[in-house]
A and B are shown apart, each in its own frame.
Chain A
Amino acid sequence: MRKIGAVLMATILVHFTSSPYGSGAAGEGLDFAMSATNYGHEVIALFSDDAVQMWRSDQHTPDGVKTVSKRLKALPLFDIEQLYVCEMSLQQRGINADTTQYKPLCASDIAAVIVEAEHAVTF
Chain B
Amino acid sequence: MTDNFSFEWQGQQIPVDKNGYLLNTKDWDESMVPYLAREEGISLSEAHWEVVRFVRNFYLEYDTSPAIRALVNAMKQTYGPEKGNSRYLQRLFPRGPAKQATKLAGLPKPAKCL
The chain A residues found within 8 Å of chain B, CB to CB, are 30-32, 34-38, 66-67, 70-71, 73-74, 76-79
Q: How far is the CA of A32 from the CA of B112 in the complex (A)?
A: 8
Q: How far is the CA of A38 from the CA of B69 in the complex (A)?
A: 7
Q: How far is the CA of A71 from the CA of B64 in the complex (A)?
A: 6
B6 within 8 A of partner (CB): no
On whether the beta carbons of B63 and A78 are closer than 8 Å, the reply is no
Task: Select the residue from A35, A71, A76, A78 with max chain B CB neighbours within 10 A.
Answer: A78
Q: How far is the CA of A85 from the CA of B73 in the complex (A)?
A: 25
B98 to A: closest C-beta gap in Å: 9
Q: How far is the CA of A31 from the CA of B73 in the complex (A)?
A: 18
The count of A-to-B residue pairs whose CB atoms sit within 8 angstroms is: 50
B79 within 8 A of partner (CB): no
On whether the beta carbons of A71 and B113 are closer than 8 Å, the reply is no
Answer whether A73 and B111 are a contact pair too, CB < 8 Å, given A34-B70, A38-B69, A78-B70: no
On whether the beta carbons of B113 and A34 are closer than 8 Å, the reply is no
B97 within 8 A of partner (CB): no
On whether the beta carbons of B73 and A34 are closer than 8 Å, the reply is no
On whether the beta carbons of A38 and B63 are closer than 8 Å, the reply is no
Interface residues of B in 51-104 (CB under 8 A from A): 58, 61-64, 66-70, 73-74
A32: which B residues are within 8 A, CB to CB?
114
A74: which B residues are within 8 A, CB to CB?
58, 61-64, 66, 70
**Chain A to chain B contacts (Cβ below 8 Å), 28 pairs:** A30-B64, A31-B111, A32-B114, A34-B64, A34-B67, A34-B111, A35-B67, A35-B111, A35-B112, A35-B113, A35-B114, A38-B67, A38-B68, A38-B112, A66-B64, A70-B62, A70-B64, A71-B62, A71-B63, A74-B62, A74-B64, A74-B66, A74-B70, A77-B73, A77-B74, A78-B67, A78-B70, A79-B73
